[in-house]
Structure 1
Amino acid sequence: MQQRNFRHLLLGHESLLQMDKINDSSQVRDCLTHTDVAKENKADSNQQIQHTDAAEESKADCSQENMGGLNTKRRHSQSYKTEADDQKQKTGAEAQSSDPWGEGKLKKEPECHMQLDKLFPNQNHTVLIDTNEFMAGRIVPHKGQHVWNSHFVKLPHNYPLQNGIESRWAVTEKALKERKLTRGASAKDVEMAIKTYNHKHKTDWRFNTLYRFYESGSRSYFSSVISKIAQLALTLPSLVQTKIPMLRQNQSHAITMSQEQIACLLANAFFCTFPHRNTTQPGSEYSNFPTINFSSLLSNASPRTLQKLKAIFYYFNTVTEEATKPKGLVTFERICLSQSEFPNWSKQKENMTNLHVYLNGFIEKEGQGMLQVDFASNMIGGGVLNQGLVQEEIRFIQCPELIVARLFTEKLGDNECLKITGAQVYSNTTGYSDSFQCNSPHTDSTQRDEWKRRYCQIVAIDAIKFDDPRQQYSEKNIKRELLKAYVGFKGDPQIPTDYTPAIATGNWGCGAFKGDPMLKALIQMMAAAVAHRDLAYFTFGNKKQAEDLKRTYKLLKSHKVTVGKLYNLLLDYCKHHHHHHHHVKSVSDYISEKMGVHPSQL
C-alpha cells in the first residue's frame, strides 16, 4: 500500500481542526417518553430507544486498516466541495439538544475529515461502479464477470440453466411483469408472483403482514409502490454487471456500490428472488449467514412488522422517484484483526481519552459525525426481517440500505466487525419494541464525501449474551469484549488522531444481554483509549448511571490510571465478585475503594 507523509498536511491548518461547540444546546426530549422529534430535518431520524434493551442485536464495525483505496488513505484539503456546501448541515452547537458533561472537544466529520484518495478497486476492495466514469462525474455499473460459487453472491439472473427448463430469471421476469404488478396490484397479486418462482413455499408463506398493510392503507399507494419495486427489481441484470464477493470470516474486505444498486438488490429481496436463501437451517448452504429474502417480514403479521413494512414502502417510494432518488455510494467493510494485532491489555500504558456523558440524546442524532456504534447481532441486522425491534433493527429500518449487508456478510467472529459508510435515513420513527412507530418519510440532507457517501459511519459490534450475568466477571469474557470493542473502534494508523472522529455509544450488551452497564462502559473506555479515540456515552435518561460514570471517569483521570492498571483492577474485581457474590460491591465502588477513595468522597 502506498505510504503517505502527512506532516505537511497538518501545518497551517489548525483552524480547520476546530470542532463543533457542544455546550450551546436546546433541551433534548427524554428518550423514555418516546416523544416525536421526527420533524427535525437531521441526518438521522430519531431512534427512540432505550439502549439498555437495544443490546439484543449486534453489528460488527470495521477498522480501516489495510484497505487500499478506502478512506484509509486520506489527506486534508481546504478546497474540496460537496453537494451540501451551500446548505451545511448543523453538526455543532445547533445540532446539540442536550447539555453533556465532558472533558475536551469531540471531533466529528466532516470537520475532521481528510480528503479521500481516488476511488479504485483492488484486492481488498470491490467496487461495483465504473471508477473511470465516476471520476468524470457519472455513476454507472462496472462491467465485469459473474461467478456462480460460494465465494460470491448468487444473483437470481445468473441461475444456471437446466436442459429443457425455462430459466429461473425468465420465470421471475414473467411473474413480475404479468401478475398485474405493473399496475393495480393487490396483495394477492404479489403473493402469487413470489410463489411462482418459490414453489417449495407455496403452502408455508402466508404474507399476512402484506395483506394487513394492503387493507389498512391506500390501495392506490400500495399498487403504485409495488409497481415501482417490481420495475426496479427487473433492472438487476443492467445495474449489477459484475460479481459481488461474500464478506467471509477471517477476511478483511470492502464493497462499495451505488445507492441505486442497493435499491435494486433490496427490491429483489422484497420479491424473494435470491436463490438458495430461504433457509438457514444447520447444514444448509447459508446457515452461517442472515436471511435476505423478505418472506418472514411479509408473512409474520404483527403491529411491529406492519410498522416496518410502512418504512420499507417509504424507502422504495423515495428511491424510485426521480426527484428524490439518491445518487451516491455506500461502503460495507468487514474488518478482521489478526492475533498479532491483539492488544496486551495488562501492559497498555494509555490513559483514558476524553469522555462526554449524555443523560439525554441519541447516538444517531447527537452522535452525528462520529463513529456510531450499532449494538449488533453477530448475524448482521439481527431480527430486522422478523419481529426484532430494538436498537439494531430500528437503525436498519430507518436506513434500509443497511439491510443489503445481510446478502453478503457472514456471521461475525470475535475479532471482527462491519463498518458501513454512507447510509441514508429514509424514515422518521419513534418508540422501540412494541411502542415503535414509523411516522413519516425523512429527507436526509447530510453532506457527502468525495466518494459521494453520506457522512454517516456505523460500526456493528456484537456483545456476548449472558444467560447468567455472573459469567461476565471473568478474564476470558472481559478480554473478548475488549477485543470486540477495539476492532470496532480501531482506526487507520496512517491517519493522525486529529482526523479521527469520536465514538458515539451507550449501554452495549446490557438489557436483554444482561451486561453490567458500568463494566461495559469501562470496557469501551479502555478500547477507545488504546484506539486513541474520544468517547460520547449516552445513558438514555438514566441519571444515576450518568452520575456514576462521571465520578468513575474523574477518579481514573485524576489518578492517571492507565488501561493496563484498570484491566488488572477489573481482574481483581472478578475474583472479588466470585468470592462475595451475595454481598458484592459495584465495579465503580470497588475501583474507588481500591484506590483509597470512598465513593462518598467523590
Structure 2
Amino acid sequence: MASEQVNSPTEQTSRVMTGVASDLGDKNVGRGFGENDRCSSCQCHIGREEEEIKRLRLENERLKKRVAELEKIIGSCQVCNRQSVKADISSAGGASGDQNCGIETVEESADMNKRNESSQMESILKPDITSSKDKSPSQVPVGTLVDLRVPTGQPSTSDHQREASRSKAAGVESDKGKSCLSLSLSEPKRTPACHMQLGKLTCDSSHTVLIDVNVFCQEGKFRPMAGRHRWDNSSVRMPFAEESVLMKSGFLPGDEKRWHIIQKSLHRLATASLVKSSDVESAIKKYNPKYKDVWSFDALHTFCEHVHSREKPMISETLGKIAALALNLPEFCRKAIPLLRHGQSHSITLSQIQIASLLANAFYCTFPHRNATHPRAEYANYPTINFHSLFGKWSERKGEKLRAILHYFSEVTKEDTKPRGLVTFERCYLHHHEFAQWRSETKLLTKLEITSEGTIEKEGKGMLQVDFACNLVGGGVLGSGLVQEEILFLMNPELIVARLFTEKLGDTECLKVTGSQQYSNYSGYSDSFMWMGPHNDSTPRDEWQRRKRQIVAIDALHFKYPREQFNMKKVTRELNKAYCGFSGDYFHEVATGNWGCGAFGGDPKLKALIQMMAAAVTHKDVAYFTFGGYNLKQDVQDMHLFLTTHKISVGRLYKSLDDYCGALHSPQGPPDLYDFIKSTLKDTTSRH
C-alpha cells in the first residue's frame, strides 16, 4: 500500500488559517455600503438612510435566524411541551431554556461552539508526523505524546482519504464532487438536547453504586462505598483479594499473596526517578510468571525508544503515576463489583477516579484469572482486560493507540485535570414478551436527518450515540483493531473498563454507557488513524454528575455471504437488537450509521431500514451518517421520503421485507431492495 503524504505542522497550520481568511473574505465579497459610496445614477451620497437600511436588514436577518433556532429547539424537544420557549420565539428574546429537560440557551451553545472552533485553530501539535508503512520501527516518528493542553488543529489526513477509507469499510461509494443536500447536524439545537429528568441517585437490587450515595446526595462528594469483596463467579475478582495467590514450585513452602508482589513491583515504579519500558515489562512478569516467555513487549519498547527526547521524561513520569494509581485500588473500590452477566439487566455506577484506578491495574496486567482465552477458561465469555495484548507486535496502529492511552492517564493523574464525575454502565436484556410485534406494528417512521459528512461522536452530540460493537464489547481495542468501536473506546478510554465486567452480549441485549468523557481528538480511520492531541470535553453534566453523553453498544450479525441476511429470522434479530439499544428516555434522538456494514458484511440499505423501524417503535428521530457514502445518503433519503409520504407503517414495511426475502430467490434474479419496496407499496396507504 502506498504511503500517505501528511503535511507538516507548519503547512497544516497555514492551510487552516488560510481557509479561515478565505471564509471571512467570502462573506465580504461585493460592493459595500460606505459613507463615500455614490449612487451610479444620480451620484448622490449614501447617507444615514442607507446606513439605517443596512442596519435594519442585518437586524431582520438576525431575528429570522433567532426564530429559526428556537423553532428547531421546540421541534427537537416536543416531549417537554413547555410554553416558555414558545413565548420566547414571539418576543425574540433570550432563550430561557427548561431545567426539566436540560436545555441551555442558544447563545450559550453558540458561544460554546465558537470557543471550541477557535481553540481548534490554535496550533497543530504533532510535529514531523508521517504515515509510511515502508519505514522501519527506528524511523517511525512518534510526535508529541502527553502533557499538551492546546487542542489540535484540523486533521492532517485529507477529507478524500478519510471518506475513501470509510466508504470502503462500509461498502458504499463516495462522491465528493456532489454537494450534500441534507441538513447540518451541528446546529446549536443539538447541544445539549433533552434528556430524562433524573431523581436522586440510589442503589438497589438492579443498580450497584460504588460511591456512598448518601454523602453524594447531601454533600456532592465522591466517597467510596463501604462493603466487602467477593471471590465468586458473579463478581469481579480483584487483584488485592486474599484468595489471589501465586503457587510456589519445588521445595519452596506455601503460596505467596499475589498483591504483595504487585505492591512491591509497582511501588518501585511509582517511586523511581526514571521508569523505562523494560521496567514495566519486568514488573508485569513478576506477578504473571506463567506468561514470562509468552508475552511480548516489543510494541511498548519501540514506542518508548523512538519518541522525541524531550518527551521521554513525560512518558517516564506518566508510567510511574499509573503505577501509583493502580496501588490505590483497595482504597478507591471497597465494594464488590458485580459482573454484568448474560440474561440479566443490571447497572453499575462508578466515579471516574475509580474507573481510572481499575484501568491502571489493567494497564499493569494485575487482574487475576483474566489472561487465559481458551474455550474452557473461566472468563472465556468475557473480553480481555489486561493490556498485555496492546504491548506486543509493534505496528503504527499500536503506536497511535499507546499515544491515546498514555494521554488519558496523564490527564487523570494530574490534580488540575483529574475528572470529577460519575459514569453508569447498564446491561439491558429483553425478555421474549418485551419484543415489539413487528408484523402488526402501526407506528410510522420518525424524522430522519441524513448526511454523508461528519461523525457520530462529533455531530451527534446530544443524541444517543450508537457503537457498532462486537459482542465482546470494545472489539480489538487492546489489539490491532481500529475501526469505529475501537476508535470510540480510545477517544473515551473510560469505556474500556466495561470489558472488566461485561459478559458477551446476547441477541436481545445491549450495553449503555452514560457519562463517559472524551479525552482525545483523532483523524483518519483504520490504517490512516492518527491521534491528534487532547480534547477539552465541555459536555455538561446531568443531575448525577455524569457527562450528558450516552453510548449504546449493539452488535450486528456477521454474514459471510450477503444473501444470508435476507432472511426474516435474521432481519427480526437485528430489529430486536436495535430496539433494545434504542429504548430508553435519556435522549430522544439516535445518532447512527452503517451499523454492521463493514467487515460484518451487512447491506447498508437494509440496515438503514432496520434502524429506522426500531427508532420509530422507540419514538426516536434518527440522525444518520453514511461516512462519505453520498449515493447511499441519497437512496436512504428518497426511501424515507417515500415511506413517510405514503404513510407506510412499520408493520407494512416489515411485510414488504418478508416479501422481498421470498422474491430474492426467484428465477428472475434479485431485484433492488428499495425499488422492490416502492413498486409493491406505491400508491397505497397504511391499513392500520
TM-score by length of 1: 0.83
- Write the letter of the residue equivalent to 1:214: C
The answer to whether structure 1 residue 117 and structure 2 residue 199 are counterparts is yes
Give the CA deviation at 1:283. Answer: 0.7
Preserved CA contact (<8 Å) 2:166 2:628: no
Name the counterpart of 1:80: none
Name the counterpart of 2:568: 475
Residue of 526, 529, 553 corresponding to 2:640? 553
Structure 1 residues 166, 102: CA separation in 2 closer, same or farther (over 3 Å shift)? closer
Preserved CA contact (<8 Å) 1:106 1:535: no
Preserved CA contact (<8 Å) 2:367 2:386: yes
For structure 1, which segment, 174-183 or 463-472, has the greater mean C-alpha deviation from structure 2 after superposition? 174-183
Give the CA deviation at 1:55. Answer: 7.4
Q: From the two aligned structures, give the one with the greater helix fraction.
A: 2
Preserved CA contact (<8 Å) 1:180 1:189: no
Give the CA deviation at 1:293. Answer: 0.1
Residue of 337, 357, 378 corresponding to 1:244? 337
The answer to whether structure 1 residue 216 and structure 2 residue 216 are counterparts is no
Name the counterpart of 2:287: 197
For structure 1, which segment, 432-441 or 479-488, has the greater mean C-alpha deviation from structure 2 after superposition? 432-441
Residue of 142, 146, 152 corresponding to 2:235? 152
Preserved CA contact (<8 Å) 1:153 1:245: yes
Moved over 6 A (4+): 17-21, 46-49, 53-56
Q: Distance in 2 between matches of 1:108 and 1:529?
A: 20
Preserved CA contact (<8 Å) 1:421 1:457: yes
Residue of 517, 536, 542 corresponding to 2:623? 536
The answer to whether structure 1 residue 344 and structure 2 residue 437 are counterparts is yes
Give the CA deviation at 1:501. Answer: 2.0
For structure 1, which segment, 417-426 or 161-170, has the greater mean C-alpha deviation from structure 2 after superposition? 161-170
Work out the number of aligned pairs and report it: 531
Name the counterpart of 1:207: 297
Q: Distance in 1 between matches of 2:514 and 2:445?
A: 27
Give the CA deviation at 1:334. Answer: 0.3
Preserved CA contact (<8 Å) 2:462 2:587: no
Q: Which runs of 5+ in 2 are unaligned?
A: 1-77, 87-97, 121-130, 132-149, 172-179, 246-252, 684-688
The answer to whether structure 1 residue 176 and structure 2 residue 266 are counterparts is yes
Q: Distance in 1 between matches of 2:374 and 2:450?
A: 42
SS in 1 for 2:599: helix
- Write the letter of the residue equivalent to 2:628: G
1:266-298 Cα offsets, whole Å, 9 max, x none, are 000000000000012101100100000000001
Structure 1 residues 159, 296: CA separation in 2 closer, same or farther (over 3 Å shift)? farther
Residue of 645, 650, 655 corresponding to 1:563? 650
Structure 1 residues 20, 8: CA separation in 2 closer, same or farther (over 3 Å shift)? closer
Name the counterpart of 1:295: 388
SS in 2 for 1:185: coil
- Write the letter of the residue equivalent to 1:434: D
Preserved CA contact (<8 Å) 1:182 1:230: no
Preserved CA contact (<8 Å) 2:352 2:421: yes
SS in 2 for 1:418: strand
Preserved CA contact (<8 Å) 2:169 2:598: yes
SS in 1 for 2:237: coil
Q: Distance in 1 between matches of 2:358 and 2:184?
A: 43
Preserved CA contact (<8 Å) 1:19 1:106: no
Q: Distance in 2 between matches of 1:343 and 1:450?
A: 31
Name the counterpart of 2:361: 268
Preserved CA contact (<8 Å) 1:108 1:502: no
The 5-angstrom pairing of residues 374-385 of structure 1 reads 374-385=467-478
Preserved CA contact (<8 Å) 1:374 1:460: yes
1:355-397 Cα offsets, whole Å, 9 max, x none, are 0011211111111010000000000000000000000000001
SS in 1 for 2:449: strand
- Write the letter of the residue equivalent to 2:505: L
The 5-angstrom pairing of residues 305-316 of structure 1 reads 305-316=398-409
Give the CA deviation at 1:39. Answer: 3.4
Structure 1 residues 321, 53: CA separation in 2 closer, same or farther (over 3 Å shift)? farther
The 5-angstrom pairing of residues 316-465 of structure 1 reads 316-465=409-558
1:215-242 Cα offsets, whole Å, 9 max, x none, are 0113212211001000000000100000
SS in 1 for 2:336: coil
Preserved CA contact (<8 Å) 2:162 2:528: no
Name the counterpart of 1:137: 220
Query: Identity over the aligned pairs, expressed in percent?
Result: 50
SS in 2 for 1:213: helix
Structure 1 residues 553, 509: CA separation in 2 closer, same or farther (over 3 Å shift)? same
TM-score by length of 2: 0.73
Name the counterpart of 2:590: 503
For structure 1, which segment, 46-55 or 341-350, has the greater mean C-alpha deviation from structure 2 after superposition? 46-55
Q: Distance in 2 between matches of 1:332 and 1:301?
A: 32
Structure 1 residues 19, 588: CA separation in 2 closer, same or farther (over 3 Å shift)? farther
Give the CA deviation at 1:300. Answer: 2.2
1:139-172 Cα offsets, whole Å, 9 max, x none, are 1111111100010000000141668433110100
SS in 2 for 1:331: strand
Q: Distance in 1 between matches of 2:202 and 2:281?
A: 41
Structure 1 residues 384, 444: CA separation in 2 closer, same or farther (over 3 Å shift)? same
Q: Distance in 1 between matches of 2:596 and 2:188?
A: 24
Q: Distance in 2 between matches of 1:315 and 1:127?
A: 24
Preserved CA contact (<8 Å) 1:106 1:534: no
Name the counterpart of 1:517: 604
Name the counterpart of 1:71: none
Structure 1 residues 13, 467: CA separation in 2 closer, same or farther (over 3 Å shift)? same
1:96-118 Cα offsets, whole Å, 9 max, x none, are xx873499x99856441333111
Residue of 276, 279, 283 corresponding to 2:372? 279
- Write the letter of the residue equivalent to 1:113: H
Preserved CA contact (<8 Å) 1:300 1:386: no
1:488-541 Cα offsets, whole Å, 9 max, x none, are 00125xxxxxx7420000000102111110110000000000111100011112
SS in 2 for 1:560: coil
